Structure 1
Amino acid sequence: MDHSFPHLSTTEQAVAALREVARELNLEIEVTHDIGADRTSRRSHAGMGVTTDPNGSLPHEAYVELGGTPRIDVRLFPEGDARITVEGVEFHDIPRDEVPAFLRSCHSGLAHVRGRRFPPGYRLVVPLPGDRTYKEFLPMIGLTRWLSSRVR
């Protein structure tokens, strides 16, 4: 099965790709849409009642919650990036095109936690195809059952 997606140039295309991934992985999915400059999180500078960008387009942002373990939610931004939260660990500025592969990595067992004694700490490591890897620091106190089961 081909797991690649064409360039996800819109938030709606990204949501459709995430719905397909959720279907493949047998996960529940819930999507909330925020449309208009007055509704999107990065457009708080928009004036009162202003819903469009200066070019007349409506910015579209979506918040996606996926069921199952690990707990993952995704905020898709109109600018083409996403913030993915895995078990409370936030990954910022993930390109929208890489979100489906990121989810597959988390659910296929590729994602793991690396720990160090000195300086003490853990990192959640999410490898993607093409030798791309995302890493985020997580406090030792924040290890959930799923994160603990992924420590290497």
Structure 2
Amino acid sequence: MTHPHLPSTEAAVTAIREIAAEYGMEMTVTDDIGADQTSRRTSAGVFTIVDPDGSLPHEAFVELSGVPTVSVQVFPEDDAKITVDNVEFNDVPRDSLPAFLRSVYSGLAYTKGRFFPPGHWLIVPLPGDETYKELVTLTALTPWLSSGARSS
């Protein structure tokens, strides 16, 4: 299955807004617009608005209410960082955001623990055999993460 193309940060925020409405959640959005405002443009001079190619970078930070706690940082470079109950998924393609969030909110995401090597993983399956997996430290194992545990 292909993901919908989200050509801009604004399109990604709109898609997240639709998912929040679908699952009955509140959301807050903080926009950073301009090369001197976005997190990956630290070398940009003060009041430098556009990138060297003339484009205007736009980054957004979205927080969603509810359980699990979810935040999404959408970058101008077509990727995002999604944090689910303090577990960070870096470099998620912007086009995968809707499927990722639906997997989390619909109950498809789960944790898997092993005795050896020890550790728990948060696994977020997406349509089309795409899966994201991140290590969960034992200190970060929240009630929501524990409730979705499967043994290996």
> Shared fold (TM-score greater than 0.5)?
yes
Q: Which residue number corresponds to residue 110 of structure 2?
A: 112
Q: Secondary structure at the match of 1:55?
A: coil
What pairs up with 1:29-40 in 2 under 5 angstroms?
29-40=27-38
Q: What letter matches 2:134 in structure 1? A: E
Normalised to the residue count of structure 2, the TM-score between the two structures is 0.95
Structure 2 spans left out of the alignment, 5+ residues: none
Q: Which residue number corresponds to residue 138 of structure 2?
A: 140
With over 3 angstroms needed to count, the CA separation of the structure-2 counterparts of 1:88 and 1:61, relative to structure 1, is same
Q: How many residues align?
A: 149
1:100 has 2:98 as partner: yes
Q: Which residue number corresponds to residue 125 of structure 1?
A: 123
Deviations 1:26-69 (Å, cap 9, x if unpaired)?
A: 11111100000000000011122211111222100000000111
What pairs up with 1:64-103 in 2 under 5 angstroms?
64-103=62-101
Structure 1 spans left out of the alignment, 5+ residues: none
Q: Which residue number corresponds to residue 149 of structure 2?
A: 151
Q: Secondary structure at the match of 2:113?
A: strand
Q: Which residue number corresponds to residue 16 of structure 2?
A: 18
Aligned-pair distance for 1:144?
Answer: 0.4
**How many Å separate the matches in 1 of 2:101 and 2:90?**
14
**How many Å separate the matches in 1 of 2:120 and 2:3?**
31
Q: Secondary structure at the match of 1:85?
A: strand
From 61, 64, 68, the counterpart of 2:59: 61
RMSD of aligned Cα (Å): 1.1
Normalised to the residue count of structure 1, the TM-score between the two structures is 0.95
